[in-house]
Amino acid sequence: MSKPSRKRAYKTEEEELTKKLFPSKNVLPSDDSESEDDETYEDVKPETKSTAVWQDDDDETELISTKFTLNSGLKREKDRAIGQISGKEYEKRLREKYTKGVAISNAPNWAKSDEERKLEADSDSDEESALNDLYALTRSTGKITASSDNLPRTYLSANKQKDITVGHNGDGPIVHVKFHPYRPVLMTCGQRSTKISLFEVCESHDDVTLKKNNNFLQDVSFPNFEVGSCEFYNGGESIFVGSVKKPFFYTYNLETGSTTEISRPRGLPKYNYGRFSISDDGELIAFLGSGADVFVYELKTMVLIHTFAASSRVVAVKFAPGDRMTLFGYAANATVYLWDLYSPSKQQFFYDDGAVGPRSLAVSKNGQFVACGTDTAIVNVYLRSAIEKLESNGGTLKPLYTVDNLTTQIGDMAFNHDSQLLAITSAVKKMAYRVVHMRSGTVFKNFPPKQEALEREFITCVDFSPHSAYMAYGTAAGHCRLYRLNGFHQY
């Protein structure tokens, strides 16, 4: 009988060692004379259950006193009578305690079975793949949103930009932020300040990328004149500036850089020149007195056109967009007025539903909506068409929407250019500002962003750029929170 060759014996040992070290791999073919031709490799199935690296035989025989189970969540009904349980039973109870009612991902790793560990690994891989796919999809969210005329109702695609006003607002609050109606310029004014500041936002009307450097354009100073309010007018060529303490006004011409002082016009009482509203065409200006009167003047000549009288102190007044002959007024007794300069004696009015402490008024750019904000954090939105259809005065009109997402006194409010958005603020509570989706009457869930929720800013004012590419908020700390709204691609 011939002995097996040394080469044959060596190969046999090699195959056995390969099987032990790599059970899931294919076995290498033998170099026998009988297997010179190509053969199909044998697939070795991996074991479905791994064995413990180390196992203590005492776990099978060791007994554990049940006093360790009575107060640890491991006890059973008969433990007191039994007195002892096996180590295997103790291990079983521990696994049940830490896995019962707990998601696989939350259970301790030692308490998971091999199948659970494999399932978790597969789940993590699937989740990572899904997140990568989602990231790839949402990298272009801004472009997708920008191509749609109607914004989605739940999420607002917005990116916070740098504060382009840093170093130019002093130590006090910013009480006014206003975008220029045509040029990419932002105007700010601080409380108790004697100047207004102008900043360049972007390069042009169509190129809305934020300008990276040198945003500051100029300061316009008014010595010994504490600015109470400021507005662009005359097609954006001029700025009208009023004060709550001085009985005169200033106008500043952006084209020539000249400043003109305007004396108090005849018929206007000697108080509160810092509260006014200018018509869109810059022809008329309406002043609020300290009482129930609203004084309407021709802006260029300062000739009195008419004085409207309300039943209570007027807290806010606005010209109808694109219509200098129509005004909206909001009185302290919750009366909303619709005044017509063509027929001054025929005024319409109704009571704001459930209003307590009227505070602010906003009219949408297309004239469709009228929003009323109160001290009780309620914003009621009315349709102008419903107001005009009122058959009699003095009734209560049901609002189209009631927004109650803020909890403190409503401050400034503003509609965007196409009336899809309404920004509401409150200066009483930190980070109290929301944006309302007007088609649904709900606020956007993701705005302000959650990562900004812990910041400590008090919002004092708000404004949209002419075509809503930007939205700006002034704060009590003298900062400007500027957001790029990705759903709009023109300044």
Give me the residue label for tokens 């560990």: 117
Query: What predicted TM-score, i.e. pTM, was given to this entire model?
Result: 0.70
- pLDDT for res 161: 95
For 357-403, where are the E strands, in sequence order? 358-363, 369-374, 379-383, 396-397, 401-403
- pLDDT for res 37: 43
Three-state DSSP class for residue 397: strand
CB 448 within 8 A of CB 431: yes
All residue ranges of the chain with pLDDT < 50 are 25-50, 71, 101-106, 127, 131, 134-148
Alpha-carbon dihedral angle through residues 242, 248, 252, 257, given to the nearest 10 degrees: -140
Identify residue 446 by its one-letter amino acid code: N
- pLDDT for res 102: 43
- pLDDT for res 432: 95
- pLDDT for res 143: 36
Structural domains in the chain, CATH included, are 1-45 (no CATH), 150-485 (2.130.10.10)
CA-only gyration radius of the chain, Å:
37
DSSP 67: G
Q: How many CA atoms lie within 13 A of 82 on its CB side?
A: 17
- pLDDT for res 91: 75
